[in-house]
Amino acid sequence: MSPNSLTPDGYLPRIADGQMRSALETMPAVLIEGPRACGKTWTGRRFAASALFLDERVDDVLSAGMDPGGILFGDAPRLLDEWQLAPRIWNPMRRACDERAMPGQFILTGSANPPDDITRHTGAGRIIRVRMSPMSLYESGDSSGAISFGGLMQGDNIPAREETHSLDKVMGLACRGGWPQHIGSNVTVAGRAARAYLSEITRTDISRVDGVERNPLKVEKLLISLARNVATEVRVATLASDIAASGGNNHLERRTLARYLNALERLFVLQKVPAWSPHLASRVQIRQAPKLSLVDPSLTVAALDATPESLIRDLPFAGRLFESMAIRDLSVYAAAHGAGLSHYRDSVGLEVDLVINLKAGRWAAVEIKLGGRAGIEQGARALLRLRDKIDQEVHGPPARLIVLTATGYAFERPDGVGVVPITALVP
């Protein structure tokens, strides 16, 4: 399916474009989900032949008994933008899918799941979901695209090459973030926008997602705590203690805090990387806690009021922020190949940052390091230990073992571990 006249001027191609083409050829409706301002509407317009931009007034009219046929009528695919603001459109749209019995009829975008999550059980056979994130470094033009993620997963050799981005530059890219409207902005301007984004989450978004009023100050403290613990398996009890320690009347019961986290996840602002539970050759207990990150590193930076300079002065934290950026990018690249992400940690201290769950049960593993010989060696040792622990009669050998770095050279080690700078990757 080709782009059309609704494509916005200056549209930057997205990796999700390929998923959109496939989805529109497969199902009557495509639901594009992701955080506000990540580019869903522009991508929807790129593939739509007509569009309707929904708001609460449309929902009021529908609740009064209006026939939705006029709203749904238009050249297909018809874009229903921010449909969750008028959730009563869902069932009429679903019925229209059944009546037309043709693929590519509707494109819906949504920045939040509606309060009753009416999509959960009523979309089977009609709706396919495409998840969007803020832009990866390849989409924003900050990766050379010299090394194919898909090729790596197929065992292609890694070309020896140096990426010229300095650590300062990569930290600047993390601070700027992947929001399409700020790709050309400097770090200062992008930082102001990220702080405004967080302010909207605390004031209105988190309460609108399910109609439950929440204390903006406590939401702010939670976001700060999540930022401090970025890319870790932080537990609800730890977050609660962190918030209480901030002073004032900021105590949150664990069950209430868990509901706050759920609301952030429904806004697609909180990203969870689940734990991987493979069959092991030894009797080691595998930890099951997910790894948590805000959906874009710029939000972490904004919550902590950090700068590229302050990050360079705190390299351990810079490493975790870089890991969150790698999670953002690799989740996009993996999705383009029908793959997902998890992480590994066991009771004897072995941790591997990411496991890529490929089709047909294949798997790959990634350690994420800022760079340097010591970091690469440490990452390679962890990857090789994981390889030796996995029951390969069940899971097979790893498709790839990769140390993903912020800077430096791409090369293949004699032990088979590949070293790849993030600024070299393309899907």
b/e sequence 328-365, b meaning 16+ C-beta within 10 Å: bbbbbbbbbeebebbbbbbeeeeebbbbbbbeeebbbb
Closest CA to 344 of 301, 385, 300: 385
Closest CA to 257 of 289, 225, 228: 225
Closest CA to 353 of 372, 341, 332, 368: 368
Whether residue 158 is predicted with pLDDT greater than 60 in this model: the reply is: yes
Q: Is 209 left (phi over 0), alpha (psi -120 to 50) or beta?
A: alpha
Tell me how far apart the alpha carbons of residues 10 and 4 are, in angstroms, rounded to a whole number: 14
Whether residue 422 is predicted with pLDDT greater than 60 in this model: the reply is: yes
Whether residue 276 is predicted with pLDDT greater than 60 in this model: the reply is: yes
At 147, is the pLDDT very low, low, confident or very high (cuts 50, 70, 90)? very high
At 281, is the pLDDT very low, low, confident or very high (cuts 50, 70, 90)? confident
Q: Computed from CA positions of residues 291, 356, 370, 427, in that sequence, does the dihedral angle turn out positive or negative?
A: negative
Rg of the chain taking only CA atoms, in angstroms: 22
Least confident of 57-71, 186-200, 274-288, 383-397: 57-71
Name the DSSP letter for residue 263: H
For 47, residues 6+ apart whose C-beta sits below 8 A from its C-beta are 1, 3, 4, 17, 20, 21, 24, 77, 107
Q: Which residue has the tokens 């002065």?
A: 313
Instruction: Give the tokens for residue 52.
Output: 């309707």
For 172-188, the pLDDT digits (tens) are: 999 999 999 999 999 99
For 88, residues 6+ apart whose C-beta sits below 8 A from its C-beta are 59, 62, 63, 68
Whether residue 63 is predicted with pLDDT greater than 80 in this model: the reply is: no
User: Can you give the pLDDT at residue 116?
Assistant: 56
For 5-61, the pLDDT digits (tens) are: 688 888 999 999 999 999 999 999 999 999 999 999 999 999 999 998 887 667 666
Name the DSSP letter for residue 346: B
User: Can you give the pLDDT at residue 1?
Assistant: 45
Tell me how far apart the alpha carbons of residues 22 and 178 are, in angstroms, rounded to a whole number: 24
